[in-house]
Homo-oligomer: A and B are copies of this chain.
Amino acid sequence: MKYYLGVDLGGTNIAAGVVDEYFRIIAKHSIPTLAGRSVDEISSDLAKISRHVISQAGLKVSDFTSWGIGMPSCLNPKTGRLVHSNNMGWRNVLILDTLGKHIDLPIIIENDANCAALGEALNGAARDFNNAVLITLGTGVGGGLILDRKIYSGADHMGGELGHIKMVYNGATCTCGQKGCFEAYASATALIRQTQEAMKLHPKSIMNELSGGLEKVTGRTAFDAARKGDTAALGVVDQYAEYIACGLSSLITIFRPDVIIIGGGISNEGGYLLDRINDKILMNTFGALECGVPPVIKAQLGNDAGIIGAAMLELCSAMRKV
């Protein structure tokens, strides 16, 4: 049996795993990212957790032929330079050099959302589809595109940044510095902001009590309150679903994928969110009533998708094929 080593560097956690050739995780572990630290500090942690899962699996570094890493970043494949990673606060660093100091394996880096899409395409919710759009709703909004069973990341492999398509002309400022990006309305961060705004407008909403105050709002606050019938919270959830549907409608209009997969922490709201998104897509997409629209479904692999995708880059990145 051949094994693959993958790490998923997220805004909140670093997760590493050893994956077998049937795309099953046989060992995994995760630690907090503590974002804001330097490339060197984080690289050191990536190596540490990777060695940990290798030993957990009863293997050694020399049993592997690559170190696959998914990270929230835009990497120039020609130069190996990480152009920017908003959620990590990095810009313009030669990441491959830094990582290479820590483990002696060929390194393959991909955008984290592309890794998650690859994982779901290999062994998850998109397993039976040729064309899929994956959106992860977390600290940011990640996007992964599977076209004809291949990762698609644009002509120069710096595209496919679905969280940064413009959705609200001249709208809210995004972490990328631009205005009105999909991410600025559909991320968990955006949902928290929308929840806080509604709490200020509706001081009697149970969101205030449930959350324990503005500072303690999470991505779950509005959903929890809405499920208890709170009108203001229902408004937040409906509006949030409409923002997501609006961004997805552009992607449907371009790609007409077979399926749309929603991952990331917020996807755990399940049908309560997804049913609303499906309804709103039908009402808000070009030609939806005449041509139909793809179903929006929940990712199946959770955080494992990113680990599996990163691990399998060795096979699926070189070939650019799932």
In A127-145, the 8 Å CB interface with B consists of 130-131, 145
Which residues of B have CB within 8 Å of A162?
253-254
**Does chain B have a CB within 8 A of A167?**
yes
Contacts of A91 in B (CB 8 A): 290
- Stretch of A62-70, A153-161, A206-214, A307-315 with 4 or more beta carbons under 8 angstroms from chain B: A153-161
Contact among B166, B252, B287 for A246, CB-based, below 8 A: B166
Contact, CB under 8 Å: A166 / B167: yes
| Chain B min CB distance to A183 (Å) | 9
Once bound together, how far apart are the Cα atoms of A243 and B170, in whole Å?
Answer: 10
- Among residues of B, the one whose C-beta sits closest to the C-beta of A76 is B291
**B287→A84 contact, CB < 8 A:** yes
Residues in B neighbouring A258, C-beta threshold 8 A: 155
Residues of B within 8 A of A76 (CB): 291
A218 at the interface (CB under 8 A from B): no
Q: How many copies does the complex hold?
A: 2
Q: Are A154 and B249 in contact (CB under 8 A)?
A: no
How many Å lie between the Cα of A159 and that of B130 in the bound state? 15
Check A159–B255 contact: CB distance below 8 A: yes
Q: A243–B47 Cα gap in the complex (Å)?
A: 46
Scan A235-271; emit 1 where CB is below 8 A from any B CB, else 0: 0000000010011011011111110000000000000
- Tell me if A27 is interfacial: C-beta within 8 Å of chain B: no
Q: How large is the interface on A (under 10, 10 to 19, 20 to 34, 35 or more residues)?
A: 35 or more
Q: Does A22 contact B (CB under 8 A)?
A: no
Known: A169-B167, A249-B166, A290-B92. A254 touches B160 (CB 8 A): yes
**Which B residues are CB-close (under 8 A) to A246?**
166, 169
| A74 interface residue per 8 A CB criterion | yes
Residue from B159, B250, B287 within 8 A of A83 (CB atoms): B287
Q: Closest residue of chain B to A161, judged by CB?
A: B253
In the bound assembly, the distance between CA atoms of A165 and B160 in angstroms comes to 15
Cβ of A158: which chain B residues have Cβ within 8 Å of it?
256, 287, 291
In the complex, whether A26 has a CB less than 8 A from a CB of chain B is no
Residue among A168, A252, A285, A286 with the highest chain B CB neighbour number at 10 A = A286
**Which residues of the other chain, B, contact A166 by a CB distance below 8 angstroms?**
167, 246-247, 249-250, 284
Would A164 and B253 count as touching, CB distance under 8 A?
A: yes
From 35 to 50 in chain A, residues with beta carbon under 8 angstroms from any chain B beta carbon are none
Question: Considering only CB atoms, which chain B residue lies closest to A165 in the complex?
Answer: B250
Q: Does A178 contact B (CB under 8 A)?
A: yes
**Shortest beta-carbon contacts, A-B, top 5:** A154-B256, A159-B256, A164-B286, A131-B155, A165-B250
